[in-house]
């Protein structure tokens, strides 16, 4: 009887550790340039890094991409939804305080992208 409790407890611990580790895996990343633009502006928003220069750069790059690739409103909306879902997932996945590194890496890179 004692050995059954031991194996049950060990099994529950194994499952809990596996579930915890699977939650820390990297989430999906943007697959298209349009998704990347929306992902970047979402990261900037979550990290509080927005400025007039960033906003102008985002609008300029988005407008150029929409014209160049003849992107429809539906395709634009789909890409925006996917990208912002990825941002939300990444924010939630970072945990308390874990977003700081994300803001330093992805956030600052996004600011650089739109500031040029």
Nearest-10 Cα torsion for 77, 112, 104, 82: 10
pTM here is 0.72
Residues making up the chain, counted from first to last = 116
Q: Which stretches in the chain have pLDDT values below 50?
A: 1-3, 6-8, 10-24
pLDDT digits (tens, 9 = 90+) for 58-84: 999 999 999 999 999 999 999 999 999
Residue 98's H or E segment, with its range, is none
Q: Closest by alpha carbon to 49, among 97, 98, 114?
A: 114
């Amino acid at each position: 009887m004692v050995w059954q409790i031991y194996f049950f407890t060990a099994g529950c611990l194994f499952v809990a550790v596996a579930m915890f580790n699977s939650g820390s895996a990297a989430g999906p990343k943007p697959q298209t340039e349009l998704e990347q633009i929306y992902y970047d502006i979402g990261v900037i928003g979550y990290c509080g890094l927005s400025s007039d220069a960033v906003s102008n750069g985002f609008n300029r790059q988005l407008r150029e991409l929409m014209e160049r690739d003849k992107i429809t409103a539906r395709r634009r909306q789909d890409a925006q939804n996917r990208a912002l879902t990825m941002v939300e997932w990444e924010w939630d996945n970072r945990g308390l305080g874990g977003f700081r590194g994300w803001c330093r890496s992805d956030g600052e890179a996004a600011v650089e992208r739109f500031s040029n």
